[in-house]
Amino acid sequence: MSAPSRRSLLRNLGNALLAGLIGLIGLIGNLPAAAQDAPQRSITLVVPFTAGGGVDAMARLLAERLRVTLKQPVVVDNRPGASGMLGAGAVARAAGDGHTLLLGSAGETAIAPLVHQGRMPYQPSRDLAPLTLVARVPNVLVASPGLPAGNIDELVRLAKASPGKLGYATSGVGNPQHLNGELLQSLAGIRLNHVPYRGAANQLVDVSSGVVELAFVSYAGAAPFIKSGRVKALAVTSAQRASFAPGIAAIAESTGLASYDLDNWFGLFAPASTPPAVQARLHAAVVNALKDPALAQRLRELGGEPAPMSQQQFRDFIAAETARYAAIVTSARIVAE
């Protein structure tokens, strides 16, 4: 073989090897993308509240549907403490690989930065990626059976006659229920005494016995007390009556309170470092689960109104809600202890 022929052969062989190498590199480069088809193992769904409550029940329903959709086990991990911030902080620090999620509420993902004023182990807007709203959860204002007020108009008249004498219980300072009370006072021009508790069960027991006159609580927790007559439901905090309790009026139906609308809500979050493709897959799985009529009905029975949305819509929703919370926190000068 002549020298030119050998050079041509070597050149062609080199080109073929180079092309093969480039193809191999491309294949290897695609492996992370394939690996991003997460989740590929068990998923942990962190709930920053105690087991056995309405939020826990909601999480377990969602976990079961995600297990079917994603074909991976979904384990609910209850991490209560620090008004939900303990669990939320754990997810904020977790690896962004699609295997750790948070079922978070308005409290630890939107209100906490406003009332803790930077004294937090995480920043929701920086450390958590919103996936979708799961449900809006109106609170309900309940009263002692002996309180001479059966609706909000009567309560307002009673409160104006005795400023600062009536107490309302919540599960802590700077949570959604506390803001419910502050907004009612602001719009109605009344003064109530805030009585923070550590849990809803104790609040309801004390309201039923008259230790404290009022409480803003979740419907899921209050329902047994309402149905048994141990407390009376005055109104829900949503703009309209809740589908799961149509017999209970909305605060907004009362005289001069048409603008009252302040629900709690729960959404799904991932660590901010989670790749967009993984976020998109998780979002699609949750939205698909929430479209199941049986799941939607169970959520309503737990006091939630299913409200899935796109990631951008959820981000916009959080921003709008945070602005509303900020106005209440500033006006009432709420600072967490």
pLDDT of residue 198: 83
Query: Which residue, chain included where needed, has tokens 């202890």?
Result: 337
Q: Are residue 269 and residue 133 in the same domain, yes or no?
A: yes
Query: Do residues 240 and 181 share a domain?
Result: yes
Q: Are residues 167 and 249 in the same domain?
A: yes
Q: What is the pLDDT of residues 292-335, one digit of tens each?
A: 999 999 999 999 999 999 999 999 999 999 999 999 999 999 99
Assess whether 122 and 175 both reside in one domain: no
Last residue of a domain, one of 253, 280, 295: 253
CATH of the domain at 248: 3.40.190.10
Per-residue pLDDT, 39: 84
Identify the band that residue 28 occupies on the pLDDT scale cut at 50, 70 and 90: very low
Domain count, the chain: 2
Using 50, 70 and 90 to split pLDDT, how confident is the model at 336? confident
Instruction: Write the pLDDT tens digit of every residue in 252-298.
Output: 999 999 999 999 999 999 999 999 999 999 999 999 999 999 999 99
For residue range 72-130, what is the model confidence (pLDDT) as tens digits? Answer: 999 999 999 988 999 999 999 999 999 999 999 999 999 999 999 878 889 999 999 99
Residue 250 above 90 pLDDT? yes
Whole-number mean pLDDT of the chain? 90
Per-residue 3-state assignment (H helix, E strand, C coil) for 175-226: CHHHHHHHHHHHHHCCCCEEEECCCHHHHHHHHHHCCCCEEEEEHHHHHHHH
Same domain flag for 243 and 327: no
Same domain assignment for residues 216 and 269: no
Q: Dump pLDDT digits (tens) for 264-276.
A: 999 999 999 999 9
Q: What is the pLDDT of residue 29?
A: 44
What domain range is 152 assigned to? 139-253
Upstream peptide bond of 224 is cis (omega within 30 degrees of 0): no
Domain assignment present for 30: no
Asked whether residue 4 is domain-assigned, the answer is no
What is the pLDDT, as a whole number, of residue 200? 78
Q: Is 75 among the domain residues? A: yes
CATH of the domain at 83: 3.40.190.150
Q: Say if residue 92 is in the same domain as residue 115.
A: yes
* Residue 37 pLDDT: 65
Whether the per-residue pLDDT at 146 is higher than 90: the answer is yes
Select from 253, 279, 314 the last residue of a domain. 253
| In a domain? residue 35 | no
Query: What does the pLDDT read at residue 21?
Result: 40
Q: 301: burial class by Cβ within 10 Å (0-12, 13-18, 19+)?
A: middle
**Which pLDDT value is given to residue 282?**
97
Entry field: residues in the chain: 337
